[in-house]
């Protein structure tokens, strides 16, 4: 840490990279437990931010600070999930490729 770097800068969370998640424990016959990243739903949700975000093949990355709100992205993930046969309670969102 640089002596000139504010303490808050070290502790700040990076919320510029988003992804959609599925709670496999809630998906009947999935044979998986816990949460997992879903790149397909992430790509669909990211496409809802034209000019504001870019899909990199794994995560949806903001093109400028604050372009994507976490709650709004989760809603877009849930919308994408419902359109693909999941229920809203099976879908969530995370940051930096994690759930």
pLDDT at 15: 82
Fold of 13-95: Alpha-Beta Plaits (3.30.70)
pLDDT at 18: 96
SS3 34: coil
pTM given for the model: 0.84
The domain locations on the chain are 13-95
Counting other chains too, the contacts that 60-69 makes at CB distance below 8 Å and 24 or more residues apart are 60/17, 60/18, 60/19, 61/16, 61/17, 61/18, 62/16, 62/17, 62/18, 65/16, 68/16, 68/18
Predicted confidence pLDDT, tens digits, the chain (99 residues): 444 444 444 445 678 999 999 999 999 999 999 999 999 999 999 999 999 999 999 999 999 998 999 899 999 999 999 999 999 999 999 999 999
């Amino acid at each position: 840490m640089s002596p000139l770097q504010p303490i808050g800068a070290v502790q700040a969370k990076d919320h510029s990279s988003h992804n959609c998640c599925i709670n496999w424990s809630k998906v009947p016959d999935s044979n998986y437990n816990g949460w997992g990243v879903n790149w397909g739903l992430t790509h669909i949700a990211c496409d809802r931010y034209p000019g504001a975000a870019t899909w990199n093949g794994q995560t949806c990355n903001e093109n400028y600070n604050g372009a994507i709100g976490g709650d709004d992205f989760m809603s877009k993930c849930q919308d994408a999930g419902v359109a693909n046969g999941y229920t809203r309670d099976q879908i969530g969102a995370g940051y930096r490729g994690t759930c």
